[in-house]
Amino acid sequence: MYTNRSQPKLNAKMGLIVTSILSLVNAGIGTMIAVKQNLPSVTPILTTGKPALEDFLTGNGTALSPPLYLCIVTLLLILLAFQPKRPGMVGVIGLTILGGIFLLGEFVETNTYRALNPVSFNLPVALVILAEIVLALLMIAFGGITIIQERQAHHHAAR
In this prediction, residue 28 carries a pLDDT of 96
In this prediction, residue 8 carries a pLDDT of 54
The pLDDT-based confidence of 44 (bands split at 50, 70, 90) is: confident
Confidence check: pLDDT of 156 > 80 = no
Continuous H helices in 8-158 = 12-37, 52-58, 68-81, 85-108, 110-116, 123-158
pLDDT tens digits for range 135-154: 999 999 999 999 999 888 87
Q: What is the mean pLDDT of residues 10-27?
A: 95
Confidence check: pLDDT of 17 > 90 = yes
In this prediction, residue 59 carries a pLDDT of 83
19: CB partners within 8 A, 6+ apart? 135, 138, 139, 142
In this prediction, residue 153 carries a pLDDT of 80
Confidence check: pLDDT of 48 > 60 = yes
Confidence check: pLDDT of 18 > 80 = yes
**Cα–Cα distance measured from residue 13 to residue 95, given in angstroms and rounded to the nearest whole number:** 10
**Cα–Cα distance measured from residue 90 to residue 80, given in angstroms and rounded to the nearest whole number:** 7
Using a pLDDT cut of 70, give the percent of the chain over it: 93
The pLDDT-based confidence of 72 (bands split at 50, 70, 90) is: very high
Whole-model pTM?
0.88
**What is the pLDDT of the chain when averaged over all its residues?**
90
**Cα–Cα distance measured from residue 81 to residue 25, given in angstroms and rounded to the nearest whole number:** 18
Confidence check: pLDDT of 7 > 70 = no
